[in-house]
Amino acid sequence: MTQLALVIDLNVCVGCHACVTSCKEWNTSGWAGPMADEEPYGKDPSGTFFNRVQMYEVGEFPATETVHFPKSCLHCEEPPCVPVCPTGASYKREDNGVVLVDYDKCIGCKYCSWSCPYGVRELDEYQKVMKKCTLCIDRISDETKPEAERKPACVLSCPTSARLFGDVHDPDSEVSVAIRENAGYQLMPEWGTKPANHYLPRRKTRIQIFEDELIRADNPLKKEEAVGEIIGDTIDDVAM
């Protein structure tokens, strides 16, 4: 069975929020829209987003890491939000593993958001239904689009290509290779939810300079040493 998912590379994410607004832009006018904004120009604006970037600081100055952490529905293989739904609005597609909400069936009871350990389900306060990432289901399945564009909006927009998209069940897919080769991990695997989305950790590149690399045959200062004039006698002048 296909399991579509995102793999998010924290090694290159600079926290630019392109994924956040390109998601909103695609989805507000799409199948999962609209995504309303409360007090759009007033005090404490608050709207529906399927994807948010959280920023964390790790460690104490000066050993600080600043981590940008994009978070959206992880499309779990064992999604706790599905069995708790009293109306069947919350479901997991069999063809590609995407977890969706049918707004026509949703009664806004929030059971699913309570059951989600990742906090990625947000009630749309305007329509009073639960909304969340669909992996741009209406985009990735739109055969009128060229294949290269049948990807979630966040993936296409990401300037650092920190977001990879594909089938994590296909061992040869780009996402499976990335997970395998770069120590990709799931969030809170102990919950048994088997999140399909994975994250790739930070990786550091260092350069080791050895002392002997600083004592150089090609040291250009050698060329600046003028041939000194010979002052006084040499043995050559005086020896028999």
Partner 1 sequence: MLDPTTHPDSAIGRVETKNTTCYMCACRCGIRVTLRDGEIRHIEGNPEHPLNKGVICAKGASGIMKQYSPARLTKPLLRKEGAERGSSEFEEISWERAFDIMEERLGNLRATDPKKFALFTGRDQMQALTGMFAKQYGTPNYAAHGGFCSVNMAAGMIYSIGGSFWEFGGPDLERSKLFIMIGTAEDHHSNPMKMELSKFKRHGGRFITINPVRTGYSAIADEWVPIKPGTDGALLLAICNELISQGLFDRDFLVQYTNAAELVIQDEARDDDGLFYRAEMHVEEGCFDPENKLWWDRELDVAMSTRTPGSDPYLLGEFTLDDGTKVKPSFQLLKDRLAEYTPEWAEGITGIPVETIKRLAHEMGVVARDQKIELPIQWTDCWGNEHDKVVGSPVSFHAMRGLAAHSNGFHTIRALSVLMTLLGTIDTPGGFRHKAPFPRPIPPCPKPPKGPEAVQPNTPLDGMPLGWPKDPDDLFVDGDGEPVRIDKAFSWEYPLSVHGLMQNAITNAWRGDPYKIDTLMLFMANMAWNSSMNTAKVREMLVDKDENGDYKIPFIIVADAFQSETVAFGDLVLPDTTYLERHDTISMLDRPISEYDGPVDSVRIPVVPPKGDCKPFQEVIVELGSRLKLPAFTNEDGSRKFRDYPDLITNFETSPGSGIGFLAGWRGKAGEKSLKGEPNPRQWEMYAKNNCVFHYELPLSYQYMRNWNKGYLEWARAHGLVRYAEPINLHLYSEVMQKFRLAAQGKRPGKQPPERLRNRVEQFFDPLPFYHETLEAQQVDTQEYPLNALTQRPMAMYHSWDSQNAWLRQIHTHNYLMVNPKLGRAQGFDDGDWVWVESPWGKVRCMARYSESVEPGTVWTWNAIGKASGAWALDPDANESQKGFLLNHLITEELPPSEAGEHLSNSDPVTGQAAWFDVRVKVYKAEEGEPEVSFPQFKPQHTLPGQPGKRGKWQVYFAGMFNRKKSA
Amino acid at 240: M
| Shortest Å, Cβ 97 to partner 1 | 13
Q: Could you say which of 51, 134, 176, 197 contacts partner 1 (CB under 8 A)?
A: 134
Tell me if 164 sits within 8 A of 175, measured CB to CB. Answer: yes
Interface with partner 1 (CB under 8 A), residue from 143, 147, 233, 236 = 143
Q: Please, which residue, 116 or 158, has the CB nearer to partner 1?
A: 158
- The residue (of 103 and 191) whose beta carbon lies closer to partner 1 is 103
Q: Is 108 in the site for partner 1 (CB under 8 A)?
A: no
Residue of 6, 8, 22, 72 that binds partner 1 (CB under 8 A): 22
Maximum alpha-carbon separation in the chain: 115
CA distances from 28 to 108, 123, 160, 163 (A): 19, 15, 24, 21
Angle among Cα 114, 163, 171 to the nearest 5 degrees reads: 90
Among 1, 119, 147, 148, binds partner 1 (CB under 8 A): 148
Our CB check for partner 1 shows the closer of 104 and 237 to be 104
Helix (H) or strand (E) holding 116: none
Q: Pick the binder of partner 1 from 88, 161, 170, 192 (CB under 8 A).
A: 161
Q: Is 109 in the site for partner 1 (CB under 8 A)?
A: no
Compute CA 156 distance to the chain's CA centroid, rounded to the nearest angstrom: 12
229 binds partner 1 (CB under 8 A): no
Distance of CA 29 to the CA centre of its chain: 24
